[in-house]
Copies of this chain bind each other. A is one copy, B any other.
Amino acid sequence: MAGSVTFDRVGIIGLGYVGIPLSLRISEVGKTVLGFDIDPGRVAELNAGKSAIKHIPDAEIAAMRAAGFEATTDFSRAGECDALVICVPTPLNKFREPDLSFIVATMDTIAPYLRKGQMISLESTTWPGTTDEVLKPYLDAAGLTVGEDVFLVYSPEREDPGNAHFTTRTIPKVVGGHTPACLAAGVALYEAFIDRVVPVSSTRLAELVKLLENIQRSVNIGLMNEMKVVADAMGLNLFEAVDAAATKPFGFTPYYPGPGIGGHCIPIDPFYLTWKAREYGLHTRFIELAGEINAGMPQYVVDKIVRALNEEGKSLKGAKVLALGIAYKRDVDDMRESPSVFVMEHLRDWGAEVAYSDPNVPVFPKMRQHKFDLASVDLTPESVASYDAVVLLTDHSGFDYDMIRQHARLLVDTRGKYREDGANLRRA
């Protein structure tokens, strides 16, 4: 039954890092995509054929637009869509609790326009039970029987911006349905534009799958950050050790330490499970430990600078420190949860005079919780040599690493870029 359902007109709610690539892919297979966003600027930009995301060229947006894509802030048009796919953010509030307000606001807004025959798919990362406990009541209240009148599925996004090997199409997509008919409908939708769809037994299970992926990453990075502290104390270079361990052809996966973890997923998602587990009287101790160790790394980096300057009889207070790389990972311009910003704040708190250089971030952007009135410093032998300390935080490929090594008076390397030197720290 549901297997023969086709969803020709697909609404994508939330036009960001997940919704835009998804719209592009759905449009490619000839379906009509209607994009919804609450940001009129974003909507106007897309309708003008402009990309809002650095790694997606304008030409792709323009081509999608020519193929019938339209963006709108008018959520009453939800009724026009055969399927509605929700790709809105799920952050944490300041008490590190799940903030589902974007999902709830979406459902509040579209509820009056839901109709028989539609499918609702949630793609936002969230705790197991969200689809059943938060979304389904809206459908019940609308008098729509889930699995008969409407289909409800959860299918976690797995976008990896900047991944050169995999695209939206070639990353397998997990789908869980509220009923078997929902699952069949969900598989039918996604199979139309994703090479491999992986059905699982429930929406809750699909919700857990996504959390597991990011929990494993957070814990493994946390483990390597703890090992970094131990290796440093022993005078050993952990980057060299991880590289050597990675020559084992089975049973070891290389993860590297760093100045902390950033981005919109790894620092946040694991705590969705922590929060839900409390309802069952359970603690998620690996998640808590990883969170604590990863969050402590920016201060660990600053301590290194303090000690290194101290050996020269200098204090950090009054010292000039240059932070290299402030985006959260190599070769992106995304600043969300970037540990570089925490390092810079600690440095400022210690009284250092902070500057930064990042080829992808010419001016320090407006951020909700962080403020620096700074622009990126041009890297020249003279400018590099003018700082008391230089700290490599994000290893963009655009940096001239030889020049930096040659001219920095004190260089702290948090990324193992100079691992062949053996040391994490070098002096001119």
Q: Interface on A for B, CB 8 Å cutoff?
A: 128-129, 158, 160, 163, 165-166, 170-172, 174, 196, 198, 200-202, 204-206, 208-209, 212-213, 215-217, 219-220, 222-223, 226-227, 229-231, 233-238, 240-242, 244-245, 247-253, 273, 276-277, 280-282, 284-286, 289, 293, 422
Query: What's the minimum C-beta distance from A328 to chain B, rounded to whole angstroms?
Result: 16
> Which among B128, B233, B234, B240 is the interface contact of A234 at CB below 8 angstroms?
B128
Across chains A and B, which 3 residue pairs bring their CB atoms closest together, nearest first? A233-B280, A172-B247, A209-B244
> Which among B213, B227, B236 is the interface contact of A245 at CB below 8 angstroms?
B213
Q: Which of chain B's residues has its CB closest to A219's CB?
A: B223
Contact indicator A205/B237 (Cβ below 8 Å): yes
Contact indicator A286/B226 (Cβ below 8 Å): yes
Q: Which of chain B's residues has its CB closest to A160's CB?
A: B250
| Copy count, this protein chain | 2
Measured between alpha carbons, how far is A129 from B234 in the docked complex, in Å?
9
Q: Which residues of B contact A206 (CB under 8 A)?
A: 244
Q: With A165-B250, A198-B244 as known contacts, state yes or no: A222 contacts B286, CB within 8 Å.
A: yes
Q: Which residues of B contact A198 (CB under 8 A)?
A: 244, 247
Measured between alpha carbons, how far is A213 from B248 in the docked complex, in Å?
8
Query: What's the minimum C-beta distance from A142 to chain B, rounded to whole angstroms?
Result: 27
For the A-B complex with A171-B249, A198-B244 known, give 10 more contacts whose Cβ atoms are closer than 8 Å: A129-B234, A172-B248, A174-B244, A205-B240, A212-B227, A213-B245, A213-B251, A217-B252, A226-B285, A226-B286
Q: Which residues of B contact A280 (CB under 8 A)?
A: 230, 233-234
Q: With A208-B236, A230-B273 as known contacts, state yes or no: A244 contacts B200, CB within 8 Å.
A: yes
Measured between alpha carbons, how far is A201 from B286 in the docked complex, in Å?
32
Contact indicator A247/B212 (Cβ below 8 Å): no
Query: What's the minimum C-beta distance from A420 to chain B, rounded to whole angstroms?
Result: 9
24 A/B residue pairs, CB under 8 Å, sorted by A: A160-B250, A165-B249, A166-B250, A174-B244, A198-B244, A205-B236, A205-B241, A209-B241, A213-B248, A215-B223, A216-B223, A216-B245, A219-B219, A219-B223, A219-B286, A222-B286, A226-B286, A229-B282, A230-B273, A230-B277, A233-B277, A233-B280, A233-B281, A234-B280
Contact indicator B248/A158 (Cβ below 8 Å): yes
